[in-house]
Amino acid sequence: MDALTAHLSELGHGLVTTVELTVVTTVGAMLLGIIVATLRIAPVPLLRAIGTAYVEVLQNLPLLALLVLFVFALPTIGISFPLFTSAAIVIAAYEGAYLAEAIRAGINTVGVGQAEAARAIGLTFGQSLRHVILPQGLRAVIQPIGNICIALLMNTSLAAAVGVVELTQAANNVNLLEAQPIAVFTGAGLAYMLLALIIGQVTGLLERRLAIVR
Amino acid sequence: MVSVRGLHKWFGPLHVLKDIDLTVAAGEVVVVVGPSGSGKSTLCRCLNRLEAIGQGSVEIDGQPLPAEGRALARLRADVGMVFQSFNLFGHKTVLDNITLGPTRVRRISRAEARQQAMTLLERVGIADKADHYPAQLSGGQQQRAAIARALAMRPKVLLFDEPTSALDPEMVNEVLDVMVSLAAEGMTMIVVTHEMGFARRAADRVVFMDDGRIVESGAPDDFFAAPRTERARDFLSKILQH
Ligand SMILES: Nc1ncnc2c1ncn2[C@@H]1O[C@H](COP(=O)(O)OP(=O)(O)O)[C@@H](O)[C@H]1O
Ligand SMILES: [Mg+2]
């Protein structure tokens, strides 16, 4: 317990970094997920192919490998970002592929009939997505999206491997000084659980608030 | 108002529409009948290009149908469509279903769109349902809301694809009554339906389709009393038996 209280500030900084990384990445991954899901149902075959390729590539590579590649390989060809930025880009890109699939499943719950009705009153493809398809498609998959966000939260700990001092890395650092792994990692674990619980609660609230009258 | 010339449509190897010629004058009401699979829905869908045209031409009010993009969206706004399965937007109230097109496509103000929507809802007899969601309405009420949604765009032509086929029998008339009054007010309409009563009351012309072709066309009374082709006689004997 002392090991935790003596290093509250380091652990607190780690926790804040984890939260920041999670929030930034979730926003980025949602935007990407919506764009990629939209590409996959676009009327233009080339766009559909790009969407499919994106999902296939990113779902079939380990996140850790992507992080290492981005952080250590890209600088050798002259491209480099701050560590936090790199981690956020890679995790958002990776989780975006999973969100795209969840969102596409949601879109598929909206009947083609409504999409045709939207086009028949003269809405463009973009307008029918925005006003008819996505509002209903997203509502249908709030729960799976919440689950992916929790997975995303857990995956931010992989940023430790490329040097971002988030909660896991901070706990690791404290443990190196104090050699009290049980106390330190249990504390960190409880913090992750609390964050996951919050995401779960928000998901449940959104689902009740936005339910479509049936 | 609507002019179709030499229209063909294929689904892969399936030749669904074969050399369709059809002209509908402003204010005319044309009822399309024919056996299931004869291409009635496909013809309707080609008229507002929900289906791409294989060959031939479709003109609405003298304008050829644009291929894609904004020009097509604009033209679709002039061609209203009422579907068998209503297809109201499930997350929007009846009122918001109706105002979506006018505000987003016609770009009129929300207040004006609401006022116009309420007038239309009164006309189709469901003003009290304005703030309800589609799932809270009966089939007949949903279809009347869908007609109001189509009318809100002030279309030049209204297409109906079996608008009463998904309804319980006791709700068919409330929808047909709305359609009859639209016809009486001079709306240009193309109606796929097997409601012969509607055809007799409201149609200027009946078009009989079979196997992708327009086989026969004539005034309702002539067509029902004395169909000229064997296939039309056969078809009528089947649906009039009941
Ligand atoms: N999207 C489609 N893909 C392939 N075949 C289709 C499609 N839509 C309709 N068809 C076929 O085209 C023919 C005409 O269908 P349709 O226009 O729906 O007839 P109707 O409305 O007169 O019953 C049918 O044989 C049907 O199976
Ligand atoms: Mg049909």
Quick one: pLDDT at residue B71?
A: 80
Quick one: pLDDT at residue A75?
A: 86
Quick one: pLDDT at residue A1?
A: 66
Q: Is B93 in the pocket of ligand 1 (CB under 6 A)?
A: no
Quick one: pLDDT at residue B239?
A: 80
Q: Which residues of chain A have pLDDT under 70?
A: 1, 214
Of A123, A124, A136, Cβ closest to residue B90: A136
Give which of A121, A123, A142, A212 to mutate to test B binding, by max B Cβ within 10 Å. A121
Residue B23: how many other CB atoms lie within 10 Å = 12
Distance A78 CA to ligand 1 centre (A): 57
Q: Is B38 in the pocket of ligand 1 (CB under 6 A)?
A: yes
Quick one: pLDDT at residue B242?
A: 56
| B140 closest CA partner among B89, B175, B165, B169 | B175
Cα–Cα distance, B47 to B45 (Å, whole number)? 5
Residue A180 Cα distances to A8, A10, A11, A168, B82, angstroms: 15, 15, 14, 14, 70
Quick one: pLDDT at residue A211?
A: 84
Of A122, A132, A136, Cβ closest to residue B105: A122
* pLDDT tens digits along B182-195: 999 999 999 999 99
CB-defined contacts A:B, below 8 A: 80
Question: What integer is the mean pLDDT of B57-79?
Answer: 86
Cα–Cα distance, A59 to A56 (Å, whole number)? 5
Q: In 3-state terms, what secondary structure has residue B52?
A: coil
Kindly report the CA angle at B189 between B183 and B191, in degrees rounded to 5? Answer: 105
Check: CB of residue B34 under 8 Å from CB of residue B12. Answer: no
Confidence of residue B67 (pLDDT cuts 50, 70, 90): confident
Distance B36 CA to ligand 1 centre (A): 9
Quick one: pLDDT at residue B24?
A: 96
Distance B12 CA to ligand 1 centre (A): 11
* pLDDT tens digits along B126-147: 999 999 999 999 999 999 999 9
Quick one: pLDDT at residue A213?
A: 75
Q: Is B20 in the pocket of ligand 1 (CB under 6 A)?
A: no
Quick one: pLDDT at residue A23?
A: 97
Of A113, A121, A131, Cβ closest to residue B77: A121
Q: Is B241 in the pocket of ligand 1 (CB under 6 A)?
A: no
Q: What percent of chain B has pLDDT over 70?
A: 99
Helix residue ranges per DSSP H, A110-209: 112-120, 125-128, 134-140, 142-155, 167-178, 181-209
Q: Whose CA is nearest to atom 26 of ligand 1?
A: B37
On chain B, the residues whose CB falls within 8 A of the CB of A124 are: 69-70, 73
Residue B216 Cα distances to B28, B116, B222, angstroms: 17, 40, 11
Q: In 3-state terms, what secondary structure has residue B140?
A: helix
The mean of the pLDDT values for chain B is 93
Check: CB of residue B217 under 8 Å from CB of residue B30. Answer: no
| B80 closest CA partner among B174, B1, B141 | B1
Check: CB of residue B209 under 8 Å from CB of residue B218. Answer: no
- Identify the residue with better confidence: B2 or A213: B2
Cα–Cα distance, B139 to B158 (Å, whole number)? 20
Quick one: pLDDT at residue A2?
A: 75
Q: Which CATH number fits domain A16-166: 1.10.3860.10, 3.90.470.20, 1.10.3720.10, 1.10.10.60?
A: 1.10.3720.10
* pLDDT tens digits along B216-226: 999 999 999 98
